């Protein structure tokens, strides 16, 4: 049986991060596991900054995937992108990991999931997103991207996987309720199909795969691992990325819990790739921080730069100050009370705007090859 440890937005997943890593029995790579992280980094000549800063919080057998990649075997990195509105900074973080592994020789399989219920709009957003990903360094000519609900091989794989999973297992793993719509039982099968289709004969056959997701996606990875061998597939591995923090403190009226993840459901707490620079500066200026009540208190006791708490620290870690040493210095200056939130926010906004300006200029001038690949994959 798959234990029900699904993480829903509103469950305060970030506050529970370490607790979850223990419950899920994954290899922790965040700040709480410096020795495990140090050993993990030895796999890489030049580690991705998110690995070095602990923004990749855990691995599930990723070392098996890395061994295969090092040995020159055919390997794939798999990810799913939810289309629930415009692309925001939370969508961008896995892309840089995909581009990193692509440069190391892995193939990329990228499923887009329409959560708008509007396939035409979903295709438009998917095309834009692919160009955004190309601007982030992903080579689209070596990427297999598809719209999940509109991809016959994925739907067929979902049906096949569904045959191998009793409804009771799906329900207990995902905490589905009797009043949920019947479609809620099919959606997870599409997520599993994203993971396992990468090893179908038409996709090149069994190979080592690495799922890049947030820790909330582990429930799907565990289900996929449970059924993989029945289909003649290898068990997928996974790396779990910390989400970019929501810039506001927002309590979900449905669950009563705090929404701590950047999401389109809370527009005031997100930054999209198309936002106006003045608006971005305003949002960063008002962002929730780990600062103290008064300047005197902060100078005396220091702030809390934990990116699960301080949304400005989260922006620094992922976009504004991704260099691990520089980020560590920023955190230490915050803890000592030397750095105050006003200065920290100004530098986050300046650097973020610079990053977005360069990103937009690359996105608006894609290569002919990237444009053709995006048009072809988004239909």
Residue 260 CB, nearest approach to ligand SF4 (Å): 15
Tokens 């495990």: give the residue. Answer: 36
Binding to ligand SF4 in span 293-332, by CB under 6 A: 303-305, 310, 312-313
Shortest CB 322 distance to ligand SF4, Å: 15
Binding mask 332-371 for ligand SF4 (x = CB under 6 A): --x----xxx--xx--------------------------
Q: At what angle do helices 183-196 and 218-228 cross, to 10 degrees?
A: 70
Q: Are 330 and 294 in contact (CB under 8 A)?
A: no
149 versus 313: smaller Cβ distance to ligand SF4: 313
Nearest one of 165, 102, 171, 174 to 133, comparing CA atoms: 102
> For residue 297, what are the CA distances in angstroms to 294, 302, 303, 310, 353?
5, 7, 9, 17, 30
Options 196, 289, 324, 363; binder of ligand SF4; rule CB under 6 A: 289
Task: Provide DSSP, 194-206.
Answer: HHHGGGSGGGTSS
Interface with ligand SF4 (CB under 6 A), residue total: 15
290 is an interface residue for ligand SF4 by CB under 6 A:
yes
**Among the listed residues 216, 291, 322, 324, the single contact to ligand SF4 using CB under 6 A:** 291
Sorted by sequence, the CB contacts under 8 Å of residue 115 that are 6+ apart come out as 82, 83, 84
Nearer to ligand SF4, 105 or 342 (CB): 342
Q: How far is the CB of 284 from ligand SF4 (least distance, A)?
A: 10
Instruction: Output the smallest distance, CB 52 to ligand SF4, in A.
Output: 18
Q: How far is the CB of 332 from ligand SF4 (least distance, A)?
A: 10
| Residues 21-40, interacting with ligand SF4 (CB under 6 A) | none
- Among 312, 310, 309, smallest CA distance to 321 is for 312
Query: CB of residue 8 vs ligand SF4: minimum separation in angstroms?
Result: 26
107 touches 141 (CB < 8 A): no
Decide: helix, strand or coil at residue 8: coil
Listed residue (70, 89, 27) closest to 237, CA to CA = 27
- Please choose, out of 17-25, 160-168, 237-245, 284-292, the segment that lies near ligand SF4 by the rule CB under 6 A: 284-292
Q: How far is the CB of 296 from ligand SF4 (least distance, A)?
A: 15
What Cα–Cα distance (Å) separates residue 21 from each residue in 26, 168, 227, 307, 354?
Answer: 6, 25, 22, 17, 35
User: CA 270, CA 272: separation in Å to the nearest integer?
Assistant: 6
Give the count of alpha carbons within 13 A of 330, CB side only: 25
Distance CA(90)–CA(117), nearest Å, equals 21
Pick between residue 238 and residue 312 the one whose CB is nearest to ligand SF4.
Answer: 312
Of the pair 254, 294, the CB lying nearest ligand SF4 is at: 294
Nearer to ligand SF4, 332 or 375 (CB): 332
Whether the CB-CB separation of 109 and 153 falls below 8 Å is answered with no
Nearer residue to ligand SF4 within complex by CB, 157 or 289: 289
Residue closer to ligand SF4 by CB (options 237, 314) is 314
Question: Minimum distance from CB of 287 to ligand SF4 (Å)?
Answer: 8
Residue ranges binding ligand SF4 (CB under 6 A): 289-291, 303-305, 310, 312-313, 334, 339-341, 344-345
């Amino acid at each position: 049986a798959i234990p029900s440890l699904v993480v829903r937005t509103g469950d305060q997943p970030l506050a529970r991060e370490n607790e979850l890593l223990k419950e899920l029995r994954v290899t922790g790579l965040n700040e709480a596991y410096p020795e495990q992280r140090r050993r993990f980094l030895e796999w890489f000549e030049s580690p991705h900054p998110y690995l070095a800063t602990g923004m990749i919080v855990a691995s599930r057998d990723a070392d098996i995937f890395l061994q295969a990649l090092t040995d020159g075997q055919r390997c794939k990195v798999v990810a799913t992108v939810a289309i629930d509105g415009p692309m925001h900074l939370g969508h961008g973080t896995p892309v840089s990991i995909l581009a990193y592994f692509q440069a190391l020789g892995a193939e990329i399989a990228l499923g887009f999931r329409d959560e708008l219920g509007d396939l035409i709009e979903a295709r438009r957003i998917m095309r834009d997103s692919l160009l955004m990903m190309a601007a982030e360094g992903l080579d689209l000519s070596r990427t297999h991207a598809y719209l999940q609900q509109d991809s016959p091989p994925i739907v067929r794989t979902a049906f096949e996987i569904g045959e191998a999973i009793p409804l009771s297992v799906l329900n207990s793993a995902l905490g589905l309720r009797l009043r949920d719509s019947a479609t809620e039982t099919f959606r997870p099968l599409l997520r599993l199909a994203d993971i396992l289709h990468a090893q179908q004969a038409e996709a090149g056959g069994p190979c080592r795969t690495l799922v890049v997701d947030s820790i909330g996606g582990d429930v799907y990875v565990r289900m996929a691992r449970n059924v993989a061998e029945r289909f003649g597939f290898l068990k997928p591995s996974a790396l779990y990325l910390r989400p970019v923090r929501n810039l506001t403190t927002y309590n979900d009226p449905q669950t009563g819990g705090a929404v701590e993840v950047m999401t389109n459901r809370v527009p005031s707490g997100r930054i999209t790739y198309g936002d106006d620079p003045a608006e971005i500066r305003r949002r960063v200026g008002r962002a929730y921080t780990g600062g103290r009540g008064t300047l005197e208190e902060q100078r005396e006791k220091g702030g809390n730069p934990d990116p699960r708490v301080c949304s400005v620290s989260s922006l620094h870690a992922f976009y504004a100050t991704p260099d691990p040493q520089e980020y560590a210095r920023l955190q230490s200056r915050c803890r000592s009370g030397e750095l105050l939130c006003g200065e920290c926010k100004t530098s986050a906004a300046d650097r973020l705007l610079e990053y977005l300006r360069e990103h937009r200029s690359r996105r608006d001038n894609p290569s002919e090859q990237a444009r053709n690949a995006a048009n072809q994959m988004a239909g």
